[in-house]
Structure 1
Amino acid sequence: MEPSSSKVISLETGPWWDDLVEGGWMRSRRRTVTEADLVQFVNLSWLNEELFTVAGDRPGMAIQGRVVPAALVYSFAEGLMMPSLQAAGLAFLGTTLDIKAPTRVGDTLHVQCEVIERRTSSKPGRGLVRTRNDVVNQRGETVLVYEPLRLMRMRAA
């Protein structure tokens, strides 16, 4: 027996505004940060800081290891969330961002997403959703937190 269509969230479209409730949670898939990811991102973004470009010991640096830029961590997080939000999403309106801990090459990340605000917009058929997105590594450490506000489609009336 198939579930009623009102209880199914399509993997093709992801959740619509109507499917989300304050206090509800979503969890993304995982992704490991590779050396190639770091090198390509640094070259693309011109973030040529020694923290990201020098392998091995870096005397005098506060953080050791192959650290990756928080901008890359944020990009990974959005990439992990987008497949589930892109069909119903209309606009990314802004975010706050807080870096909690370093991320290094070899870390495996996922996003734990809690709906913290949900309201209708001034235009019919649209709603606003703010989530708290915790980017978590394989050790269960939260490395980055951001709270995006998105404009989303509502289901047809």
Structure 2
Amino acid sequence: MTQNIETVGIGFHWNDLPVGRTFKTVGRTVFEADIVNFIGCTGQQEVLFNNLEFLARESAIQGRVAPGALVFAFAEGLLVQSTMQGTGFAFLNMELNIKGPVLVGDTIHVECEVLECRASNSRPGFGIVRTRNHIVNQRGEIVQTYTPLRLIKGRHGAQ
């Protein structure tokens, strides 16, 4: 094979993310198995997630609700697959706001806007990027918003 063949699927470099740039991910449907596996794996054994009688009789949310942490994790997975392969190096902090429930059968995607992008003061060749990420369901409703700050690799030779 050729030594200089391009690799597809590599994430954005910080130099490619000017303030104001927007993009979105593909969608992903939330399944019953996702919720069951997530609550089992994380120990989130809350009646809201594991008691269908409680949901039917006492919950204000009608339907099988996904934990907010699961929805956030799916959003991060969608972003890692499409924007950070080989370039995202650290998740530094964020603010997270849950605006509505995600239910079994909902399909979510992430819409991002770059809010901050600058060279790192402490890591040459890297940049600091903050985005505003809206997790949006199939009806166009924003169900979560978060603002991650990340350390992202730069292009070779770029300052």
- Give TM-score, length-normalised by structure 1: 0.90
* Comparing 73-82 and 50-59, the one that deviates more: 50-59
List runs of 5+ in structure 2 lacking aligned partners: 1-6
Report deviation, 1:11.
4.0
Tell me which residue corresponds to 1:36: 33
Q: Is the 8 A contact 2:28 2:107 kept in 1?
A: yes
Tell me which residue corresponds to 1:74: 72
1:1-157, aligned counterparts within 5 Å?
Answer: 11-55=8-52, 57-83=55-81, 84-122=83-121, 123-157=123-157
Q: Percent identity of the aligned residues?
A: 49
Q: Is the 8 A contact 1:12 1:87 kept in 2?
A: no
Mapped partners of 1:121, 1:95: distance in 2: 18
Report deviation, 1:30.
0.6
Mapped partners of 1:16, 1:89: distance in 2: 8
Report deviation, 1:102.
0.5
Mapped partners of 2:132, 2:60: distance in 1: 28
How many correspondences in the alignment? 148
Q: Which runs of 4+ in 1 moved over 4 A?
A: none
List runs of 5+ in structure 1 lacking aligned partners: 1-9
Mapped partners of 2:25, 2:152: distance in 1: 19
- CA RMSD in angstroms comes to 1.3
Mapped partners of 1:61, 1:145: distance in 2: 23
